[in-house]
Amino acid sequence: MLAEIKKQFYNDTLKELEGINGLLSEKPVPIDEHAVIAEKIFTITHQISGTGPMLGFDSTSVLSRKLEKTFYHVRSGEKEITPQLLWQTKRAIESIIKTIGEENGRQ
């Protein structure tokens, strides 16, 4: 049963991360979509940070936690979304995708 939960978590998380990565790969994200993107990124990184360690995705969780904190500040208005932040976020998500794949392969 735990193996099935891990598999489902991995598949769902990978799908979400790849979707966000695709949005960030396109032309510049319109300003009116910044709040939606911020919410998506915060939600998936929060999920990874909270659930990941229970399922053996420890390194993925550590990487995700940093992005989660950043987008917590974006959501609260303490930080703005800039082209630089979106570029760094894309790179971070690519690292998370790579790491979750590696950790999934070890299980």
The per-residue pLDDT for 107 is 55
The per-residue pLDDT for 72 is 97
Confidence of residue 90 (pLDDT cuts 50, 70, 90): very high
Q: The tokens 């690519």 sit on which residue? A: 94
Domain containing 96: what range? 32-106
* Residue 81: inside a domain: yes
Note the pTM of the prediction, 2 decimals. 0.91
User: pLDDT, tens digit, for every residue of 20-79?
Assistant: 999 898 788 888 889 999 999 999 999 999 999 999 999 999 999 999 999 999 999 999
Write out the two tokens for 96. 């998370």
Write out the two tokens for 85. 């932040």
CA neighbor of 10 nearest in space, from 57, 73, 62, 65: 57
How many domains are contained in the chain? Answer: 1
The per-residue pLDDT for 11 is 96
* Residue 36: inside a domain: yes
